[in-house]
Structure 1
Amino acid sequence: MNPDAFAADLEEKPSRLAELAAVLQHEDPWSPLGVSAESADLVLLGMGSSHYASSVAAARLRSRGVRAVAELASSDLLPRTGPGTTVVAVSASGGSRETLDALERIGDTGATVVGLTNVDGSALAERADVVVPMLAGPERGGVACRSFQHTLAMLLALEARLDGSPSPAPLVRAAADASADLLDREPDWLPAVSEAALGPDGTHLAAPARRFSSAQQSALMLREGPRLAAVGCETGDWAHVDVYLTKNTDYRLVLFGGSRWLDGVREWTDPRDTTIVSVGEDLPTAAATVRYRGDTDDDVRLLSEALVMELVAARCWQAQA
């Protein structure tokens, strides 16, 4: 793992997303599946950021009436599969041992195995019946950052195929523009965000359930790169599980906007003068706010907002080197 290479990987996000959008404009990477919303029976498997993205994708599909679940590949309680089941195994490296082990445990049940991976010829690609490439390019920093974003985009393409909606190519293009905007204006927003978000007692991050992956991925980036304490939470659940630390710690909260449960957060953070960073939404009590191109579109947020804390993590990591 290398902090400078990680930062360079982040800087490639706009160009890689633009390339992905061009592909999705003309191709459906999921066309070999031949399933419909009515017949689909999906099991998404992965670890870490792969699972974060898969969990949001599965919830979105269920909300559209598609049978879909996301499970940690390491679970001993994997769903029963058989003919008609599509197992989507997600691993950027294609070598996640837990994901490969899950496929071994599933065995020859007649399920179709799809490998969503970023590495051609990987062990996962060899095991899969169908391979869907992430097209994120090599991540030389050793951190799954672009591949996380591309996993979400590819799973949105699966959603589009199943519910008959248009290709997500325009959305991916908009995410490229949003990422470019954040990168271009980094000197304007990053110092204040870093000062407010990185506290002596760690960083807490909250996002709406439909974008919970943003909080999880952002926390992972702080832990994986600069090795800082960080934890992700769902905004509505925050008042049930995370509120307690606002009373007796130097609590730092990064809020990804758009939750209908924001009042439950402000009920406790306003009177306690909690230090808050607001991403994608204006909040009068925020110590720092980050707005970016396209941040009023919820799906652009989903594909773009994690870059804020990825960049914070990268610069902090570089400063430690």
Structure 2
Amino acid sequence: MDDAPSLMFAEAASAGDVVDRQLSVNAKAMEDLAAHLRRSDPPFALTIARGSSDHAASFAKILLETRLGIPVVSQSPSLATLYRREQPKLAGALALAISQSGRSPDLIETGRAARGQGALLVAMVNEVDSPLAEEADVVIPLHAGPERSVAATKSFIASLSAIMQLATCWSDDAAARAGMEGMGDVLKQAWRMDWSEALEPVAAVRRLLVLGRGLTWPIAAEAALKFKETAQLHAESFSSAEVAHGPMALVGKGDPVFAFTPCDAAEQGFAERLAGFAERGAQVIAVGSGNIVAPAAIQLPTAVSSDAAVTSIAMIASYYRFAESLARHLGLNPDEPPYLSKVTRTR
């Protein structure tokens, strides 16, 4: 490959500016939606998404459940599109559909069915003239701009920031508002983080385990997906709470573990899990604030916010730069992952 910046690099680099613009432009619409949700008090929420957007949906589940006490379930699009079963009764529920293109037939049909069963359909989409947006009761534009890279980056971060803004306005929590207001600057700082120490160790392997917990588990899932898409590595993501139920038996001396350390109540238990891997000789590469202690670990820096959710979002911003660099280091084009396209048409 030549030395010209890839589309993936350019688009991921713009995430801080995207978030600054999004939070400002969407402020009134988000406050209006939050006020409506406080009045209607939905008994639960469901998410509708695929791929990277489904990782954003997992982030929404953790954030809404921990900060608002709203149960969140993932709606299988196949229920409406493949099995042709009537949707469960959803009167009063919030249905959150997340999509960059808004053009995947399964998401459109599932959103339509959820709305038909009485849910309030909120679509977080980058393309506001898309069929999914047309189906929605409320459209929250991601304002990421045209995304030309097949591997979604800035639209994923924009999805996370939109979810953060929704949860913050809905809860009306002052501390969360303070963290949200500085999110763009934190993301710009995150983009400048140097993870080059991990480049050679990861380039030397063909498979690795990617761990997170709580708010960083969706980040780990997204990172594992991008390892597959851009670097053609067999990466599997797990919550550190689940890894002991089988996957841990597959990790031994020299095996790589790429870990996104949570910076909330989950941190201590996560650190203990990483120490266990390190004691067995695994090569632990840990992203975090430096509070964890894992022998022989490579410690990668992260941009830190007063809000754990914002710090988690910053981790994926730093990771995207690393993933793009890794692909190029391996002689791959991060803009042309094999067999993939921008819009996935699943039924």
Report the TM range for the smaller structure's normalisation: 0.7 to 0.9
Count of aligned pairs: 315
Matched residue SS, 1:138: coil
1:166: Cα distance to partner? 4.1
- Quick check: 1:46–1:91 contact (8 Å CA) kept in 2? yes
Match of residue 228 from structure 1: 233
Distance (Å, rounded) in 2 between the aligned partners of 1:293 and 1:225:
24
Matched residue SS, 1:276: strand
Distance 1:182 1:103, change over 3 A: closer
1:78: Cα distance to partner? 8.5
Amino acid at match of 1:9: E
Match of 1:43 among 40, 43, 46: 46
Q: How does 1:298-317 map to 2 (within 5 A)?
A: 298-317=308-327
Matched residue SS, 1:225: helix
1:98 aligns with 2:103: no
1:232: Cα distance to partner? 1.1
Q: How does 1:26-41 map to 2 (within 5 A)?
A: 26-29=27-30, 31-32=32-33, 34-36=36-38, 39-40=41-42, 41=44
* Residues 61-82 of structure 1: CA deviation (Å, up to 9, x unaligned): 2333224323343456896234
Distance (Å, rounded) in 1 between the aligned partners of 2:122 and 2:91:
14
Matched residue SS, 2:118: coil
Distance 1:78 1:272, change over 3 A: farther
Distance 1:78 1:316, change over 3 A: farther
Length-normalised TM-score, structure 1? 0.86
- Quick check: 1:94–1:119 contact (8 Å CA) kept in 2? yes
1:246 aligns with 2:251: yes
Indicate the percent of aligned positions where both proteins have the same amino acid.
20
Instruction: Give the unaligned 5+ runs of structure 1.
Output: none
1:124: Cα distance to partner? 0.6
Match of 1:278 among 277, 286, 292: 286
Distance (Å, rounded) in 2 between the aligned partners of 1:266 and 1:316:
23
- Quick check: 2:213–2:270 contact (8 Å CA) kept in 1? no
* Residues 156-211 of structure 1: CA deviation (Å, up to 9, x unaligned): 222223323249664345332233223334xxx33212223344231221111232
Matched residue SS, 2:48: strand
Match of residue 74 from structure 2: 70
1:300: Cα distance to partner? 2.2
Match of residue 332 from structure 2: 320
* Residues 25-68 of structure 1: CA deviation (Å, up to 9, x unaligned): x4242524712177213221111121212122223323332243
- Quick check: 2:48–2:111 contact (8 Å CA) kept in 1? no
Distance (Å, rounded) in 2 between the aligned partners of 1:123 and 1:116:
12
- Quick check: 2:186–2:304 contact (8 Å CA) kept in 1? yes
Matched residue SS, 1:69: strand
* Residues 191-250 of structure 1: CA deviation (Å, up to 9, x unaligned): 2122233442312211112321110011111112222211111122222232112137x4
Matched residue SS, 1:36: helix
Matched residue SS, 1:261: helix
- Quick check: 1:36–1:162 contact (8 Å CA) kept in 2? yes
- Quick check: 1:178–1:292 contact (8 Å CA) kept in 2? no
Distance 1:79 1:285, change over 3 A: farther
Match of 2:55 among 52, 58, 62: 52
1:14: Cα distance to partner? 1.7
1:257 aligns with 2:258: no
Distance 1:79 1:207, change over 3 A: farther
Match of residue 194 from structure 1: 199
Amino acid at match of 1:234: S
Amino acid at match of 1:288: I
Distance (Å, rounded) in 2 between the aligned partners of 1:78 and 1:219:
34
Instruction: Give the unaligned 5+ runs of structure 2.
Output: 334-347
- Quick check: 1:43–1:87 contact (8 Å CA) kept in 2? yes
Distance (Å, rounded) in 1 between the aligned partners of 2:214 and 2:90:
30
Runs of 4+ displaced beyond 6 Å: none
- Quick check: 1:205–1:254 contact (8 Å CA) kept in 2? yes
Distance 1:173 1:240, change over 3 A: same
1:3: Cα distance to partner? 7.9
Amino acid at match of 1:314: E
* Residues 238-269 of structure 1: CA deviation (Å, up to 9, x unaligned): 22232112137x42111111333235424532
- Quick check: 2:302–2:318 contact (8 Å CA) kept in 1? no
